[in-house]
Amino acid sequence: MLIQVLGTGCSRCKTLYEAVKKAVQEAGVDAQVEKVEDIRQIMAFQLIMTPGLVINGEVKAAGRLPSVEEIKKLILVAKAA
């Protein structure tokens, strides 16, 4: 499973990255967590606002900070798919 946090390095992007790492640990899943700061890569996902959360190539949240619990649910749904 590949989880990407999209953002140019703002504090909200860093907060989301930490929340994703915590959610992955709590969910007990094997996932690669990647921070994407390159604007061209971010634009490829057609994101209007950052931070963005992408799981297995699918944008799951944009322009907001989902809670650790919400991130865990998104991860588990993606894992089951």
Task: Provide the pLDDT for residue 59.
Answer: 97
66 flagged as catalytic:
no
Q: Which of 70, 54, 56, 79 is nearest to 22 (CA)?
A: 70
| Digit-coded pLDDT (tens) for 21-72 | 999 999 999 999 999 999 999 999 998 899 999 999 999 999 999 999 999 9
Catalytic one among 3, 5, 6, 13?
13
Q: What is the CATH number of the domain that holds 17?
A: 3.40.30.10
* Domain residue limits at 7: 2-80
Q: How far is CA 15 from the centre of its chain?
A: 11
3-state helix, strand, coil in the chain (%, to 5): 45, 25, 30
Amino acid letter at 59? Answer: V
Domains: count for the chain:
1
As a whole number of angstroms, the distance between CA 35 and CA 45 comes to 14
79 flagged as catalytic:
no
Whether residue 77 is predicted with pLDDT greater than 90 in this model: the reply is yes
